[in-house]
Structure 1
Amino acid sequence: MYVCICNAITDRDIRRAAADGADNLYALQSRLGVAAGCGSCADHAREILREGHAKQPARPPTLYVPVPA
């Protein structure tokens, strides 16, 4: 479904950007141009972004293990 009519951005585009690391509306604007025209899609884009992050599995913590020289 189209979310941003001004720039022809779909919900799938936003979910893909979320999976690639976009974590806020500013990041979406930089990557996709969403909400850069009239701005009426900003709230819906944020909602889809939140949904995308909620569905992503948590990343395991990165551990630092020193290696003896």
Structure 2
Amino acid sequence: MTVRLEQAENQATLTVRDNGLGLPQGFDPELGATLGLQLVWSLADQLHGVAEASNDGGAVFTVRFPLG
């Protein structure tokens, strides 16, 4: 698992990536019933940002939010 925080201009990007099997086809993270997924989307909302989930050699969760 890797966790990365990057800053560009007035935006930050937090990425959490694993090297597992990835997310199932048709997976909708906003409907995720797990506490972890609920926390990710809640964090994005609180930061006035957006959250995304994708597959790239495993599951990738990204939260982008404005700074300042």
Instruction: Please say whether Structure 1 and Structure 2 have the same fold, judged by a TM-score greater than 0.5.
Output: no
Q: Which is greater in Rg?
A: 1
TM-score (norm 1): 0.29
Q: More helix by proportion, 1 or 2?
A: 1
TM-score (norm 2): 0.30
Q: More strand by proportion, 1 or 2?
A: 2
